[in-house]
Amino acid sequence: MFDRIAQTYDQLNGLITFGMDKTWRKRVAKMIAANNPETILDAATGTGALAIDLTKQSSAKVIGIDISEQMLAIGKEKINHLELGGIITMQLGDAEALSFESNTFDAISIGFGVRNFDNLNQGLSELYRVLKPGGQLVILETSVPKYSPFKQGYYLYSHWIIPILGKIFSRDKLAYEYLSDSASVFPYGERFNGILKENKFIDIVDHPQMLGIVTIYAAFK
């Protein structure tokens, strides 16, 4: 599915979020850079948008992994165009079965990818394993506004408007129906904080953005 929508993924992300995806990624990158990491894993990197933003805030080496070859191919083109090949490495890989040794990375980021894990606990367990003691995990993910009328407006937008935009611009309505449905059932907020805690993460905080349509989660090993 992600291979099919790879060509239009970045443009549609910007359209669907009214350009706010750039602001949210920048905030994630700043949070990670504040701890001066030397090595960062960007899991479910997609086309590498967050990986690229990380290099603007930090001098760390970044490895981006994803299961979609087409997403990675576009990411590599962007990285080569920006001459970041010596800083960012893009690899085919599954966040639920990482090939890296334990205690490898100073920080891990995920932008709009954790809700696509087949097994959420397995994925978080793997991220915990490869994170160094004291290392930080920062996740940017969709959530649902708590209060009316924003909650109703979000439901209308995510379940009707986004699939239509997906059909128009990517010619793949089903993919964007999936993305909307997965966003609506993801255990956001306190529920996700609890899942992070169950997977041994500590010092967990969440930062709702734009009335709660997305949330930034930060935690440590």
State the average pLDDT over residues 207-218.
93
More confidently predicted of 55 and 6: 55
CATH number of the structural domain spanning residue 38: 3.40.50.150
State the average pLDDT over residues 90-119.
96
- Our CA dihedral for 101, 106, 112, 113, rounded to 10 degrees, sits at 10
213 located within any domain: yes
State the average pLDDT over residues 110-129.
96
- 37 alpha-carbon distance from chain centroid: 18
Give the pLDDT of residue 178.
64
Q: What is d(CA 195, CA 175) in angstroms, rounded to the nearest whole number? A: 26
Residue-wise pLDDT tens digits, 183-200? 778 899 999 999 999 999
117 located within any domain: yes
Give the pLDDT of residue 94.
96
30 located within any domain: yes
47 located within any domain: yes
209 located within any domain: yes
Give the pLDDT of residue 118.
92
Overall domain count for the chain: 1
State the average pLDDT over residues 12-24.
85
196 located within any domain: yes
The answer to whether residue 31 scores a pLDDT higher than 80 is yes
Place of tokens 């989660």: 217
Q: What is d(CA 107, CA 60) in angstroms, rounded to the nearest whole number? A: 10
SS3 at position 218: strand
Q: For residue 37, what are the domain limits? A: 2-139+187-220
State the average pLDDT over residues 57-86.
96
Instruction: Record the tokens describing residue 221, joined without a space.
Output: 């090993």
Instruction: Look at 17-21, 71-75, 159-163, 203-207 and tell me which has the smallest mean pLDDT.
Output: 159-163
Instruction: Look at 16-25, 78-87, 197-206, 212-221 and tell me which has the smallest mean pLDDT.
Output: 16-25
High-pLDDT (> 90) share of the chain, %: 69
98 located within any domain: yes
User: Cα angle at 180 between 197 and 72, to 5 degrees?
Assistant: 80
Q: What is d(CA 146, CA 144) in angstroms, rounded to the nearest whole number? A: 6
The model's confidence at residue 177, banded by pLDDT at 50, 70 and 90, is low
